[in-house]
Amino acid sequence: MLMQAEAVTKRFGETVANDAVDLAIRPGEIHALLGENGAGKSTLVKILYGALQPDEGILRWKGETIRIGNPAAARTLGIGMVFQHFSLFEALTVAENIALALPGNRKLAELSKEIGAVSARYGLPLEASAIVADLSVGERQRIEIVRCLLQEPDLIILDEPTSVLTPQEAEQLFQTLERLAGERCAVLYISHRLEEVKRLCQNATILRGGRVVANTDPRTETAASLARLMIGEDVGAVVRPDRNTREGSPRLEVDDLSLPADNAFGVSLKHVSVTVRSGEILAVAGVAGNGQGELFDALSGERLSTRADAIRIDGNDVGRLPINERRRLGAAFVPEERLGHGAVPVFRLSENALLSRHAVGDGLKGSALLHKQGMQAVSENVIETFDVRSGEGDAEARSLSGGNLQKFVVGRELDRNPSLVVINQPTWGVDAGAAALIRQALIDLARSGSAIVAISQDLDEIFEIADRICVISRGELSEAYPAETLSMEEIGLLMAGKAERARGMHAAEAPLPETERPRAD
């Protein structure tokens, strides 16, 4: 056995994050660690990587009882980790970023040769001299993996590794991991994407409420049965009723919107045009870092466009109006970053409800006391409707798990029954049950007559909720196609910016971005 955790327990105050957890990982095994948000996965992984110390229980490495004092000690043992959120300096080169994480003083010329060799060996193409700011998200992930491989690990921990990849990049990653497993390197694989767990992993340990509830071979399970083990009950299927055959009225109209990047590493929006109608969900697919955040900021009013008529909400020119004015026209906005952008960490849930509700006056008539009572009522309604598990009382936002906070932030906006919702990454990092609840709420709101713009990197989610799909690549937005006319492969190519190849496969002919159109010389 390579790594064993025996009866590992970790408490935070009265909360038991890990309760006598057992885990065993063999050399050459790709082992899934599954569980809903708040199940204890992150705590366990931090213990294995030395970022936390267990209160009880023991760890064994290659049969020897050990104490992993910190991540550096873990790396020395042969344990590497690739985090969901990358830690890279965008102004530095690939080689310089990797050098910063390696012990000793490595000459960049020699290190560059090593990077090239490892990249070629494992099918992870990288140019050591490339500036990180110029690289795609998939290429940035390769940096993290190559940096890890240069330390010759026996165990690699991967946290949600495909959440930022196109389908083609994800398949390439799977091939790399299978090659590593063939060389006796073990992989601990954390993901909410159960189909890829079935595709890749030989064993799975499933946590619920901090305890191990199952050890299983995911290849013998269905995605539904794995979700049932994670959550403790069946996950309701998302139901998408047919749209009304009558075309809805335009709720959101974007006309030739262009905005320069607001920082050296941002993405400029280029001639974005799209119309979203009452009763429909438009999904915007794309690899992270291609202008999704900039598009959200422009639609929400966090950045103003140069022309008032570049954006219209229900026929009103809003391109030069700030976010609260847009809210008063019936719009609601859910940003990607829930803690710090969507919610203030140290504010209680009722106080966070006030942040986006004060502009429209919901529950705010009368005295300050009535304001507080009104927001308390809003908060309690959201908690009940969206099954937000917040502990006792009016909890602080930072005390909630990521999935529960996401349900609250989404629920706070949908509770208003807005006529337009713009939501960035609706179910980022949430478990199957929470994802199903959020997606169904978006569909139900759309079918009641609202318009939804869902910016998402999750193609499974997009196909589950979308009526039409467009792709953003390098700040340019493709034509929007009926969801049923597109395949995963076509969207993946558009996400990677390969519009010409996607166009050749798609009968409707996706338009080429300006920079890729042939010139008439």
Q: Report the chain (521 residues): mean pLDDT per 10 consecutive residues.
A: 97 91 98 90 94 97 96 94 84 94 88 94 90 84 91 93 79 92 96 92 96 97 92 84 82 97 87 97 90 95 96 98 96 92 93 84 51 84 88 83 87 95 89 88 96 93 95 94 91 71 45 36 33
Q: What is the pLDDT of residue 114?
A: 94
DSSP class per residue in 384-423: HHTT----SSS-BGGGS-HHHHHHHHHHHHHTT--SEEEE
Q: What is the pLDDT of residue 521?
A: 33
Q: How many residues does the chain have?
A: 521
Long-range contacts of range 374-383, CB-CB < 8 Å, 24 or more positions apart? Answer: 375/350, 375/351, 376/350, 378/350, 378/353, 378/412, 378/415, 379/349, 379/350, 379/352, 379/353, 379/412, 381/415, 382/349, 382/353, 382/408, 382/411, 382/412, 382/415, 383/349, 383/408, 383/411
Residue 265, both tokens: 């590493």
Residue 375, both tokens: 């927001």
Structural domains in the chain plus CATH codes: 3-231 (3.40.50.300), 238-330+418-521 (3.40.50.300), 342-415 (no CATH)
Look-up of token digits 């049923």: 484
Calculate helix-pair angle for 432-447, 402-414, nearest 10 degrees: 10
Residue 179, both tokens: 């090659």
Query: How far apart, in whole angstroms, are the C-alpha atoms of residue 470 and residue 385?
Result: 31
Query: How far apart, in whole angstroms, are the C-alpha atoms of residue 132 and residue 96?
Result: 10
Task: Describe the strand order of the beta sheet including 269-277 as a list of residue ranges.
Answer: 269-277, 250-259, 311-313, 316-317
DSSP class per residue in 89-102: -TTSBHHHHHHHHS
Count the neighbouring beta carbons within 10 Å of the beta carbon of residue 256: 12
Contact 162, 173 (CB under 8 A): yes
Q: What is the pLDDT of residue 292?
A: 93
Note the helical H segments in 28-105: 41-48, 71-77, 94-101
Running DSSP on this structure, what letter comes out for residue 128?
T
Cα radius of gyration (the chain):
24
Contact 469, 480 (CB under 8 A): yes
Count the neighbouring beta carbons within 10 Å of the beta carbon of residue 38: 21
Q: What is the pLDDT of residue 245?
A: 67
Residue 478, both tokens: 């493709």
